């Protein structure tokens, strides 16, 4: 290699910090995959996004219940209602009747 260039990928020994409960972050990273419950997702979301999350709204999503304003507000009170509805419609997620423009 020329000059100070370093390879993007390398292999070898990793110096993990001593006495750290999760030195490589794998426990935190995979914890949600190992516990796929609404409560685990709420814990992850509150930690990651640093906002409160309504576990009942998460339970509704996990159960594929129709999406309504209470769930949207419980997950993100600042979310744009038209954007959430458009995203839900695009993925075929069921909506309550008052959020469906085609409902009569």
Residue position matching structure tokens 């458009």: 86
- Determine the pLDDT at residue 7: 63
Residue position matching structure tokens 């995979």: 30
Whole-number Cα distances in Å, 35 to 28, 39, 41: 11, 9, 8
Cα 42 versus chain centre, distance = 9
Integer-rounded Cα Rg, in Å, for the chain is 21
Query: How crowded is residue 75: how many other Cβ atoms within 10 Å of its Cβ?
Result: 19
Q: What does each of the 104 residues of the chain score in pLDDT, given as a tens digit?
A: 556 676 677 777 877 788 888 777 777 777 767 888 999 999 989 988 999 999 999 999 999 999 999 999 999 999 999 999 999 999 999 999 888 766 55
């Amino acid at each position: 290699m020329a000059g100070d260039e370093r390879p993007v990928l390398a292999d070898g020994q990793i110096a993990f910090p001593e006495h750290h409960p999760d030195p490589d972050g794998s426990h935190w990273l995979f914890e949600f995959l190992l516990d796929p419950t609404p409560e685990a997702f709420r814990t992850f979301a509150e930690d990651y996004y640093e906002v409160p999350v309504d576990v009942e709204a998460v339970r509704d999503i996990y159960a594929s219940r129709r999406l309504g304003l209470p769930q949207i507000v419980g997950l993100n009170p600042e979310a744009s209602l038209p954007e959430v509805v458009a995203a839900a419609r695009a993925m075929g997620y069921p909506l309550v009747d008052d959020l469906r423009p085609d409902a009569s």
